[in-house]
Structure 1
Amino acid sequence: MTTLPDRPNTALLVIDMQHGAVDGAHDLAGVIANIDTLVARARAEAVPVIWVQHSDDHMKYGSDSWQYVPELVRQDPEPVVHKNYGDSFEATELEDLLAERAVGHVVVTGAQTDMCVRSTLHGAFTRGYDVTLVGDAHTTEDLTAYGAPAPAEVVAHTNLYWKEQRAPGRRGNTVEAAKVSFTAGAAG
């Protein structure tokens, strides 16, 4: 249902599952396991897997904090999008990679829920993509000391509000990892 013409395919995005973004994050083991399962399923179904990797003053390119968690392993043909902003589309080649693969629907996983995941959800949606958030495959750190809700509440709220996103010709949805469908036009 995407507004992007002739783009019937789906891609899996794995956003910023790097040490500096996830060490100490909420339900990290569960999120990693769910992402790993989705990556395996996507590969088995010949669905593109695109890895996104953030760098900034706190996660310097090439540093230990910049590295992906070792449980999630990218394979050679799978592209890596290097970014410096929350939205994975902003000043990156992500749109070109998706266009080359005729992708009009993105399935979003990763970190951090209230920063890069949220920015990418909205960035994809406003660019015309259908966007599925995997409700049990994203996480965030505890920022309650700064007035934020507890991480579980951030995840739950994001899952809730994304479930009903609608705009002309496109939609957002939240599903659990076990219910993700990579088939064009599917709800998950």
Structure 2
Amino acid sequence: MTTLAGRPKTAVLVIDVQNGVVEKAYDRDRVVANIGELVAKARAAGVEVVWVQHNSEELPTGSESWQYVPELVRGEGEALVQKAYGDSFEETELESVLAARGVGRLLVAGAQTDACVRSTLHGAITRGYDATLVDDAHTTEDLSAFGAPPPGQVIAHTNLYWRYQQAPGRTASTVSTADVDFAGDSRA
């Protein structure tokens, strides 16, 4: 369980599913559909959904590439956190947003697997959160031309190592979108 006292709730964290980030992403449409399903499940169960949006030279604020994909629409009252670094907690208001909502457990989805998703997972667990990676709701682009493994292997490896990640008093795990069930989650 989380090491954050008085933070029993769960939130879904959707990271950087922006036009310019997932334009060439591996299995883009299936992953975006899974994120949409995850968000719908969270909303139906009254679980917080928090959106994270990256800002950079490649994703200038307000540009088409900076916008979230049209298939995913932030709901009224759902927090939007702007960031400039891979870790969604780094120099952002994410921690204060989650604290205000009593959140100590995160279900993480989004892009890119080998950058912002992975950085945020590590940032969460080191800050005391329980962090679950939704194993079929994250993606990355093909960076094999730069020496990286093919994207399917990057995703599979991230799922494998996160499933066995450990930290004192916190849990790391993976779950598939179809297996997410907030109904029995007393932390919702």
SS in 2 for 1:119: helix
Is residue 2:22 matched to residue 1:45? no
Is residue 2:77 matched to residue 1:77? yes
Is residue 2:103 matched to residue 1:103? yes
Runs of 4+ in 1 over 6 A off after TM superposition: none
Please, what TM-score do these two structures have when normalized by structure 1? 0.96
Q: 2:168: which partner in 1?
A: 168
CA distance in 1 between partners of 2:125 and 2:180 (Å): 18
SS in 1 for 2:62: coil
What are structure 2's unaligned runs of at least 5 residues?
Answer: none
Indicate if the aligned counterparts of 2:32 and 2:71 stay in contact, CA closer than 8 A: yes
Structure 1 position 181, deviation (Å):
3.6
Amino acid at match of 1:70: P
**Aligned runs of 1:1-188 on 2, under 5 Å?**
1-182=1-182, 183-184=185-186
Question: CA separation of 1:173/1:184 partners in 2, compared to 1, >3 Å: closer, same or farther?
Answer: farther
Structure 1 position 24, deviation (Å):
1.4
Indicate if the aligned counterparts of 2:10 and 2:187 stay in contact, CA closer than 8 A: no
Please, what TM-score do these two structures have when normalized by structure 2? 0.96
| Identical counterparts, % of pairs | 63
CA RMSD of aligned residues (A): 1.1
Indicate if the aligned counterparts of 1:10 and 1:184 stay in contact, CA closer than 8 A: no
Structure 1 position 185, deviation (Å):
6.6
Structure 1 position 92, deviation (Å):
0.6
SS in 2 for 1:40: helix
SS in 1 for 2:120: helix
What are structure 1's unaligned runs of at least 5 residues?
Answer: none
